Amino acid sequence: LEKNTQGQHDNFVSLAKWRILNRLHDRNETLYYRVLIDNIKNFAPIIYTPTVGLVCQNYSGLFRRPRGMYFSAKDKGEMMSMIYNWPAQEVDMIVLTDGSRILGLGDLGVQGIGIPIGKLDMYVAAAGINPQRILPVMLDVGTNNQKLLEDRLYLGLRQPRLEGEEYLSIVDEVMEAVHARWPKAIVQFEDFQMKWAFETLERYRRRFCMFNDDIQGTAGVALAGLLGTVRAQGRPLTDFANQKIVVVGAGSAGLGVLKMALQAVSRMAGPDADPHFFLLDKNGLITTERKDIDPAAAPFAKSQGEIEGLGLSEGACLIEVVKKVKPHVLLGLSGVGGVFNEEVLKAMRDSDSTKPAIFAMSNPTTNAECTAVEAFNHAGEDIVFASGSPFADVNLGNGKIGHVNQANNMYLFPGIGLGALLSGAHIITDGMLQAAAECLASYITDDEIQRGVLYPSIDSIRDITAEVGAAVLRTAVVEEVAEGRGDVGYRELSQMSKEEILQYVKDNMWYPVYSPLVHEK
């Protein structure tokens, strides 16, 4: 590969690697997953962000053979029989998308199937979900991407997206069919545009064992990182309630993060606590003056009284907010590359924190709010930095290294899914999600925190996932939503010690080894 791709653009090389891995998957699934697990640090950026974004953008051209199931608006009324036609007897994990907001790349229609495929490959690699029991699902309700509608290779329905009740009736039908055949399967909603992300989560979370990864998985990962930044400042965790956090992007991810952060502050400082969160969207700072404010953003809108003293008002732009607030944390989930420009990053030098934190969480790499080099160059060497897609560590000279963290929901969704699955819970509660976030936060030692490390290396993703899965499972038992699975019911689970739960989780993780052709006596 190296010889054949010499002098080529990075994207070309990454896509070539993706093709090779994809062909290996088709020839020898066991070997594919073994290669992935043994080289996760090298290959996660190929099967997952950032390359998966490029794959989705070019999916119709790259397509050779199908993976997963497609439910089109034209299949209405037939979805139950389609589900019963899926060849696997058992399905444990489903990742489902409608392709309407793929990473920060917008509406990619059915080409978004690359995301469920990539996420489920992470499930196999990180959580040891049996690859025979995973199911990527695409809901093809049309696309509003004009370029795709005109592309003769486009594989999906050539019609504008369904809206309203028509749309919901398709999702309802798929969810009910899945539940009828595999009542214990976990369904992960992924990369839905904001309005449907929130609405489907509310609609299904009390009826099915499902979660929305962009809202809930991301929130847990961000919270773990935010608690890490408090520790990095040498402060007690309860000081989290006093942190000034500027969140750029008021979409499913940004709002999910703030909601979970608010819950954490309430636990630490009581329900009347008044956290210092500032929320911006494409129209600037969100305040109570905002016209047609989204109900999900309303709880985080600043009142005039709260910001007057700072000299801020409705719609204030990012640079103004950073200069006046002097935040401890600047967190981007806007999907817009480069919005943390030189001026904004330089303003972070005046942060009130001894270790200002910059989280450029948007994916893929080109959509990151800033690069790692930009962050360390402009905001200074004392920052802690995290990005949604991987960047190399930054050489700061004098033998010093600027550590780059990857703040990505991949640290939590595999453990949330695995823990929920083994618990046999019929729903995924806030408590289970909180346990996942706390588990990740506590994984890092003080020594690592001092070096700017907020998240463990992806090399240990299987171990992290086992711990997170165990934490989720334990909480499901404590909250009495666990119903068990197979021979291991609620009673057996509730009698296990903490160590036994962890062992139980590990014992249930699939690992790629060839199964013998002849049964050994």
Q: Give the catalytic positions in this structure.
A: 48, 119
* Helix 430-442 vs helix 461-478: crossing angle, to nearest 10: 140
Comparing CA positions, the residue from 189, 199, 193, 245 lying closest to residue 222 is 245
Q: Which sign, positive or negative, has the C-alpha torsion 284, 290, 294, 298?
A: positive
The amino acid present at 251, given as its one-letter code, is G
CB of 410 to ligand NAI, least distance (A): 7
State which amino acid sits at residue 107.
Answer: D
99 vs 251, beta carbon nearer ligand NAI: 251
Within 399-428, which residues bind ligand CC(=O)C(=O)O (CB under 6 A)? 408-409
Q: What are the two backbone dihedrals, phi and then psi, of residue 448, each rounded to the nearest 5 degrees?
A: -65, -45
Strand partners of residue 135: 94
Kindly tell me which residue out of 98, 173, 191, 374 binds ligand CC(=O)C(=O)O, with binding defined by CB under 6 A. Answer: 191
- Cβ distance to ligand NAI smaller for residue 188 or 408: 408
**CA separation for the pair 261, 299 (Å, rounded):** 12
Residues 358-377 that bind ligand CC(=O)C(=O)O (CB under 6 A): 363
Size of the site for ligand NAI (CB under 6 A): 30
Closest CB 190 distance from ligand CC(=O)C(=O)O, rounded Å: 6
Other C-beta atoms closer than 10 Å to the C-beta of 82 total 15
* 408 in a known ligand binding site: yes
What is the spatial distance between Cα 352 and Cα 243, in angstroms, rounded to a whole number? 9
What is the rounded distance in angstroms from the CA atom of residue 355 to the CA atom of residue 362? 22
For residue 101, say whether it is annotated as part of any ligand binding site. Answer: yes
Residues that bind Mg ion (CB under 5 A): 190-191, 214
CA distances from 203 to 100, 171, 273, 392, 403 (A): 18, 10, 29, 40, 41
CB of 193 to ligand CC(=O)C(=O)O, least distance (A): 12
Q: Candidates 6-14, 247-255, 321-329, 441-449: pick the segment binding ligand NAI (CB under 6 A).
A: 247-255
398 marked as part of a ligand binding site: no
Interface of this chain with ligand NAI, residues 123 to 162, rule: CB under 6 A: none
Distance between CA atoms of 130 and 19, rounded to whole angstroms?
Answer: 23
Q: Which of residues 401-430 bind ligand NAI (CB under 6 A)?
A: 407-409
Phi, psi for 287 (deg, rounded to 5): -125, 175
User: What binding mask, one character per residue, do residues 325-344 give for ligand NAI by CB under 6 A, x or -?
Assistant: --------xxxx--x-----
507 appears as a binding residue in the annotation: no
83-112: which residues touch ligand CC(=O)C(=O)O (CB under 6 A)? 103
**Residue 189 or 385 with smaller CB distance to ligand CC(=O)C(=O)O:** 189
Cis peptide before 50 (omega within 30 of 0): yes
Site string for ligand NAI, 164-203 (x = CB under 6 A): ------------------------------x---------
Taking CB under 6 A as the rule, does residue 257 contact ligand NAI?
A: no
Sheet holding 93-97, edge to edge: 69-72, 134-140, 93-97, 186-189, 210-212
Q: Residue 103 interacts with ligand NAI (CB under 6 A)?
A: yes
3-state secondary structure 324-378: HHCCCEEEECCCCCCCCCHHHHHHHHHCCCCCCEEEECCCCHHHCCCCHHHHHHH
Among Mg ion, ligand NAI, ligand CC(=O)C(=O)O, none, partner that 254 touches (CB below 5 to 8 angstroms by kind)? ligand NAI
Residue 92 or 214: the one with the smaller Cβ distance to ligand CC(=O)C(=O)O is 214
State which residue, 197 or 286, has the beta carbon closest to Mg ion: 197
Q: What one-character DSSP code corresponds to residue 508?
A: T
191 assigned to a ligand binding site: yes
Instruction: Give me the amino acid identity at 325.
Output: V
Which residues contribute to the site for ligand NAI (CB under 6 A)? 101, 103-104, 194, 214, 218, 221, 248-254, 280-282, 333-336, 339, 361-363, 367, 388, 407-409
Binding positions for a divalent metal cation: 190-191, 214
Chain residues in the site for ligand CC(=O)C(=O)O (CB under 6 A): 49, 103, 191, 213-214, 363, 388, 408-409
